[in-house]
Amino acid sequence: MIEWGDDIFKALKEAGIRQVGYVPDAGHKRLINACIADNDIEAVSLTTEEEGIALAAGAWLGGDKAVLLLQSSGIGNCINMLSLLETCRFPFACFVTMRGQWHEFNPWQMPMGTTTRKALETAGLLVAEVEDPADVGAQAAATLHKAFVGQQRTALLLSQRLVPIKTFGK
């Protein structure tokens, strides 16, 4: 089984990412734990997703690179803060575990899950999506390159097919 979280972690290290903001998420669990365990990365647990955009902007102003790890349901919380990135032209990269797609069990996840890509593109982000775990590492590296070398605002959507099927405790 391909552990795609390890592939993203490798891409973060190779890109010189020093700060990772995250809202706890089962889909990102392996990646979050790797970031927490790494002494060269400051892993910051956020209370809400939009704090991660401010973290990334502050990191850039302070000479560091940061990324945001979140779930698609958290994109809705970020819409107003995404304007900061566009207005100030900060580079930005986020990795979004998707909900409201394949085998979704929770109807509350459907609205944001089905509109995440459109919302991010409307906010000015370059968006890619990956479904095959074998492609995650290359896509993560490309997302980081576009952000920090190309000075763009980027998002990589990690298909719900990449995470275990969730249920309400059954």
Decide: pTM greater than 0.85. Answer: yes
Residue 93 has what pLDDT?
Answer: 97
- Tell me how far CA of residue 67 lies from CA of 13, 16, 103, 109, 111, in angstroms: 12, 11, 28, 23, 25
The percent of residues in the chain predicted with pLDDT above 90, rounded, is 65
Q: What is the pLDDT of residue 116?
A: 85
Fold for 4-162, please state it: Rossmann fold (3.40.50)
pLDDT tens per residue, range 114-168: 778 898 999 999 999 998 999 999 999 999 999 999 999 999 999 877 776 655 5
pLDDT, tens digit, 9 for 90 and up, residues 72-101: 888 888 888 998 998 999 999 999 987 655
